[in-house]
Amino acid sequence: MINEKLPKIWYGGDYNPEQWEADTWPEDDRMFKLAGIDVATINVFSWALSQPNEDTYDFAWLDATIDRLHANGVYVCLATSTGAHPAWMAKRYPEVTRVDYHGRKRKFGGRHNSCPNSPVFRRYSRLIAGKLAERYKDHPAILVWHVSNEYGGYCYCDNCAAAFRSWLERRYGSLDALNRAWNTRFWGHTFYEWDEIVPPNELSEEWGGSNTNFQGMSLDYRRFQSESLLDCYKLEYDEIKKHTPHLPVTTNLMGLYPELDYFAWAKHLDVVSWDNYPSLTTPVSLTAMTHDLMRGLKQGQPFMLMEQTPSQQNWQAYNSLKRPGVMRLWSYQAVARGADTVLFFQLRRSVGACEKYHGAVIEHVGHEHTRVFRETAALGAELQALSDRLLDARSAAKVAIVFDWENRWAVELSSGPTVGLNYVNEVHKYYDALFKLRIPTDMVSVEADLSGYDIVIAPVLYMVKPGFAQKAEAFAAAGGTFVTTFFSGIVNENDLVTLGGYPGELRKLLGIWAEEIDALFPDQSNRIVVKGEQGVLKGTYACGLLCDLIRAEGAEVVAEYGSDFYKGMPALTVNRFGAGQAWYVATSPDAAFMQDFLARLTAEKGIQPLVEAPEGLEATVRVKDGQRYLFLLNHLAEPATAETGAAGVDLLTGQAVSGAVTVPGRGVAIIAQPG
Amino acid sequence: MINEKLPKIWYGGDYNPEQWEADTWPEDDRMFKLAGIDVATINVFSWALSQPNEDTYDFAWLDATIDRLHANGVYVCLATSTGAHPAWMAKRYPEVTRVDYHGRKRKFGGRHNSCPNSPVFRRYSRLIAGKLAERYKDHPAILVWHVSNEYGGYCYCDNCAAAFRSWLERRYGSLDALNRAWNTRFWGHTFYEWDEIVPPNELSEEWGGSNTNFQGMSLDYRRFQSESLLDCYKLEYDEIKKHTPHLPVTTNLMGLYPELDYFAWAKHLDVVSWDNYPSLTTPVSLTAMTHDLMRGLKQGQPFMLMEQTPSQQNWQAYNSLKRPGVMRLWSYQAVARGADTVLFFQLRRSVGACEKYHGAVIEHVGHEHTRVFRETAALGAELQALSDRLLDARSAAKVAIVFDWENRWAVELSSGPTVGLNYVNEVHKYYDALFKLRIPTDMVSVEADLSGYDIVIAPVLYMVKPGFAQKAEAFAAAGGTFVTTFFSGIVNENDLVTLGGYPGELRKLLGIWAEEIDALFPDQSNRIVVKGEQGVLKGTYACGLLCDLIRAEGAEVVAEYGSDFYKGMPALTVNRFGAGQAWYVATSPDAAFMQDFLARLTAEKGIQPLVEAPEGLEATVRVKDGQRYLFLLNHLAEPATAETGAAGVDLLTGQAVSGAVTVPGRGVAIIAQPG
Amino acid sequence: MINEKLPKIWYGGDYNPEQWEADTWPEDDRMFKLAGIDVATINVFSWALSQPNEDTYDFAWLDATIDRLHANGVYVCLATSTGAHPAWMAKRYPEVTRVDYHGRKRKFGGRHNSCPNSPVFRRYSRLIAGKLAERYKDHPAILVWHVSNEYGGYCYCDNCAAAFRSWLERRYGSLDALNRAWNTRFWGHTFYEWDEIVPPNELSEEWGGSNTNFQGMSLDYRRFQSESLLDCYKLEYDEIKKHTPHLPVTTNLMGLYPELDYFAWAKHLDVVSWDNYPSLTTPVSLTAMTHDLMRGLKQGQPFMLMEQTPSQQNWQAYNSLKRPGVMRLWSYQAVARGADTVLFFQLRRSVGACEKYHGAVIEHVGHEHTRVFRETAALGAELQALSDRLLDARSAAKVAIVFDWENRWAVELSSGPTVGLNYVNEVHKYYDALFKLRIPTDMVSVEADLSGYDIVIAPVLYMVKPGFAQKAEAFAAAGGTFVTTFFSGIVNENDLVTLGGYPGELRKLLGIWAEEIDALFPDQSNRIVVKGEQGVLKGTYACGLLCDLIRAEGAEVVAEYGSDFYKGMPALTVNRFGAGQAWYVATSPDAAFMQDFLARLTAEKGIQPLVEAPEGLEATVRVKDGQRYLFLLNHLAEPATAETGAAGVDLLTGQAVSGAVTVPGRGVAIIAQPG
* Contact between A53 and B192 using a beta-carbon 8 Å cutoff: yes
Q: How many CB atoms lie within 10 A of CB C173?
A: 10
Quick check: A513 contacting C, CB < 8 Å? yes
Q: A587: pLDDT confidence band, cut at 50, 70 and 90?
A: very high
Interface test with A, best of C27, C327, C357, C376 (most A CBs within 10 A): C357
pLDDT at A646 over 90: no
Q: Considering C386, C409, C424, which residue would you say is the last residue of a domain?
A: C386
In a domain, C128, yes or no: no
Element (H, E) at B485: strand B481-485
Contact call for A318 and B418, based on CB within 8 A = yes
CATH number for the domain spanning C515: value is 3.40.50.880
A515/C contact by beta carbon, under 8 A: yes
Residue of A227, A307, A406, A618 marked active site:
A307
* Residue that finishes a domain, picked among A552, A577, A604: A604
Domain that residue A168 falls in: 158-220
CATH number of the domain that C32 lies in? 3.20.20.80
Chains in touch with C (≥3 Cβ pairs < 8 A): A, B
Angle at B629 between CA B623 and CA B635, to 5 degrees: 125
Calculate what percentage of chain B has a pLDDT beyond 90: 99
- C360 and C265, same structural domain? yes
Check whether A675 has a pLDDT greater than 90.
Answer: no
B373 and B501 belong to one structural domain: no
Q: Are residues C190 and C283 both part of a single domain?
A: no
Q: What is the pLDDT of residues A50-82, one digit of tens each?
A: 999 999 999 999 999 999 999 999 999 999 999
What's the rounded Cα separation, in Å, for the pair A308 and A318?
17
pLDDT of residue C526: 98
- Per-residue pLDDT reduced to its tens digit, C448-489: 999 999 999 999 999 999 999 999 999 999 999 999 999 999
Q: Is residue B642 situated within a structural domain? A: yes
Which amino acid appears at position B182 of this protein? W
Query: Measured between CB atoms, does C54 come within 8 Å of chain B?
Result: no
Across the interface, which of A48, A90, A104 has its CB nearest the CB of B103?
A104
ipTM above 0.90, yes or no: yes
- Same structural domain for residues B577 and B644? no
Same-domain pairing of C298 and C197: no
Buried b (16+ CB within 10 A) or exposed e, A639-667: ebbbebeeebebbeeeeebeeebebebbb
| Helical (H) or strand (E) element with B582 | strand B580-585
**B562-608 confidence digits (pLDDT tens):** 999 999 999 999 999 999 999 999 999 999 999 999 999 999 999 99
Q: Yes or no: say if C354 and A218 are a contact pair by the CB < 8 Å rule.
A: no
Contact B18/C205, CB-based, under 8 Å?
no
In this prediction, residue B660 carries a pLDDT of 95
Q: Measure CA A317 to chain center.
A: 22
| Nearest residue on chain B to A46, alpha-carbon basis | B188
Which residue in chain C has the smallest CA separation from B94?
C196
Residue at a domain's end among C352, C386, C420: C386
Instruction: Write down the pLDDT at residue C675.
Output: 72
Residue A482 shares a structural domain with residue A588: yes
Q: Tens digit of pLDDT for each residue in B450-491?
A: 999 999 999 999 999 999 999 999 999 999 999 999 999 999
Is the separation of the CB atoms in B418 and B38 below 8 Å? no
Query: C544-563, pLDDT tens digit by residue?
Result: 999 999 999 999 999 999 99
Helix (H) or strand (E) holding B291: helix B284-297
Q: A108 and B518: CB-CB below 8 Å?
A: no
Same domain as B344, residue B429? no
Instruction: Output the pLDDT for position B624.
Output: 96
DSSP label of B226: H
Provide the shortest C-alpha distance from residue C495 to chain B (in Å): 7
Partner A, chain C 111-140, Cβ-Cβ below 8 Å = 111
Examine the domain organization and report whether C364 and C492 are in the same domain: no
Q: Are residue B435 and residue B544 in the same domain, yes or no? A: yes
Portion 216-235 of B in contact with C at CB < 8 A: none
Beta strands B75-79 and B142-146, pairing class: parallel
Q: What pLDDT is attached to residue B645?
A: 84
Q: Tell me if chain C has a CB within 8 Å of the CB of B354.
A: yes
Nearest CB to A212; choose among C16, C49, C354: C354
DSSP codes, A312-380 = --SSSSB-PPPPTTHHHHHHHHHHHTTEEEEEES-SB--SSSTTTTS--SB-TT-SS-SHHHHHHHHHH
Determine contact: A521 vs chain C, CB below 8 A: yes
Contact A354 B185 (CB under 8 A): no
Chain B contact present for A673, CB below 8 A:
no
The verdict on A500 touching C (C-beta cutoff 8 Å) is: yes
Is residue C307 among the annotated active site residues? yes
* Residues on chain C touching B356 (C-beta within 8 angstroms): 497
Considering only the beta carbons, identify the residue of A16, A280, A353 that sits closest to B214.
Answer: A353
**Cβ atoms of C621 and C628 closer than 8 Å:** yes
Sign of the C-alpha dihedral computed for residues B560, B563, B567 and B569 taken in this order: negative
Please name the residues between 194 and 213 in chain B that touch chain A, using a CB distance below 8 Å: 195-198, 200, 202-205, 212-213
pLDDT of residue B311: 97
Instruction: Compare all CA atoms of chain C with the CA of A413 and give the residue at the minimum distance.
Output: C354
Residue of B nearest to A372 (CA): B516
CA dihedral B466, B469, B470, B471 (to 10 degrees): 100
Asked if C351 has any chain A CB less than 8 Å from its own CB, the reply is yes
- Is B393 part of a structural domain of the chain? no
**C172 with C55, same domain?**
no
Helix (H) or strand (E) holding A576: strand A570-577
Question: Helix B284-297 vs helix B326-336: angle between axes, to the nearest 10 degrees?
Answer: 40
Q: How far away is chain A from the Cα of B111, in angstroms, using its nearest Cα? A: 25
Q: What chains are in contact with B, requiring at least 3 Cβ pairs below 8 Å? A: A, C
Q: Is C213 close to B353, i.e. CB distance below 8 A?
A: yes
Q: From chain C, pick out residues whose CB is under 8 angstroms from the CB of B323.
A: 565
**Helix, strand or coil, per DSSP, at residue B240:** helix
Could you tell me if residue A318 is inside a domain?
Answer: yes
> Is A117 inside any structural domain?
no
Instruction: List residues forming the annotated binding site of A.
Output: 111, 115, 149, 155, 157, 160, 315
State the Cα–Cα distance between residues B654 and B671, nearest whole angstrom.
Answer: 9
Nearest to A500 among C357, C358, C365 (CB): C365
Task: Tell whether C158 is within 8 A of chain B (Cβ).
Answer: no
Whether chain C has a CB inside 8 Å of the CB on B87: the answer is yes
Chain C interface test: which of A158, A185, A515 (most C C-beta within 10 Å): A185
Tens digit of each residue's pLDDT (9 = 90 or more) over B246-298: 999 999 999 999 999 999 999 999 999 999 999 999 999 999 999 999 999 99
Count of domains for chain C: 4
The alpha-carbon radius of gyration of chain B (Å, integer) is: 26
Chains linked to A by 3 or more Cβ pairs within 8 Å: B, C
pLDDT score of B646 more than 90 = no
| Annotated catalytic residue within C95, C239, C307, C505 | C307
Q: Is B191 on the interface with A (CB under 8 A)?
A: yes
pLDDT at B26 over 90: yes
| B324: contact with C, CB 8 A cutoff | yes
Whether pTM > 0.95 for this model: the answer is yes
pLDDT at B405 over 80: yes
Report the pLDDT value the prediction gives residue A7, as an integer from 0 to 100: 98
Evaluate if residue B675 carries a pLDDT over 90. no
Q: Express each pLDDT in A498-527 by its tens digit.
A: 999 999 999 999 999 999 999 999 999 999
For residue range A115-169, what is the model confidence (pLDDT) as tens digits? Answer: 999 999 999 999 999 999 999 999 999 999 999 999 999 999 999 999 999 999 9
Band of pLDDT at residue C646, cut at 50, 70 and 90:
confident
In a domain, B522, yes or no: yes
Report the alpha-carbon distance of residue C636 to residue C665 in Å, rounded: 6
Looking at the complex, report in whole angstroms how far the Cα of residue A411 sits from the nearest Cα belonging to chain C.
12
Find the mean pLDDT for residues B220-224. Answer: 98
Give, for A583, the enclosing helix (H) or strand (E): strand A580-585
Check if the beta carbon of residue A272 is closer than 8 Å to that of residue A146.
Answer: no
Q: Which residues of C touch A162 (CB under 8 A)?
A: none
Q: Which of B150, B239, B363, B406 is catalytic?
A: B150
Told to judge if C259 belongs to the known catalytic residues of this protein, a careful annotator would answer no
Q: How many residue pairs bridge chain A and chain B with CB atoms within 8 Å of each other? A: 174
Continuous segment of H or E residues that includes residue C159 = helix C158-172
Residue C628: inside a domain, yes or no? yes
- The torsion angles phi and psi of C138, rounded to 5 degrees, stand at -110, 5
Query: Which residue among the candidates B95, B206, B239, B307 is catalytic per the annotation?
Result: B307
Judged against a pLDDT cut of 80, whether residue A406 lies above it is answered with yes
Backbone angles phi, psi at A342, to 5 degrees: -130, 100
B562 occurs within a structural domain: yes
Answer yes or no: do A415 and C85 touch at CB < 8 A.
no
Q: Cβ contacts (< 8 Å) between B105 and chain C: which residues?
A: 203
Confidence of residue C177 (pLDDT cuts 50, 70, 90): very high
Alpha-carbon distance C139 to C66, whole Å? 9
DSSP letter string, B250-289: E-EE-TT-SSS-HHHHHTT-SS-EEE----TTS-HHHHHH
Residue C645 confidence (pLDDT): 84
A402 beta partners: A444
Q: For residue C487, what are the CA distances in angstroms to A515, C461, C502, C515, C588?
A: 51, 7, 8, 12, 10
Q: What distance in Å separates the CA atoms of residue B598 and residue B591, rounded to the nearest whole number?
A: 11
Partners of residue B495 in chain A, C-beta under 8 Å: 352
Among B102, B203, B414, the residue with its CB nearest the CB of A107 is B203
- Assess whether B37 and B61 both reside in one domain: yes
Q: Which of B318, B349, B361, B370 to mutate to test binding with chain C, by most C CBs within 10 Å of its CB?
A: B318
- HSE on the CB side for A523, CA within 13 Å? 2
B534 shares its domain with B423: yes
Q: Note whether A154 and A259 are within 8 A (CB).
A: yes
pLDDT, tens digit, 9 for 90 and up, residues B564-576: 999 999 999 999 9
The reply to whether residue A420 touches residue C318, judged by beta carbons under 8 angstroms, is yes
CA–CA separation, B235 and C106 (whole Å): 42
| Residue A605 sits at the chain B interface (C-beta within 8 Å) | no
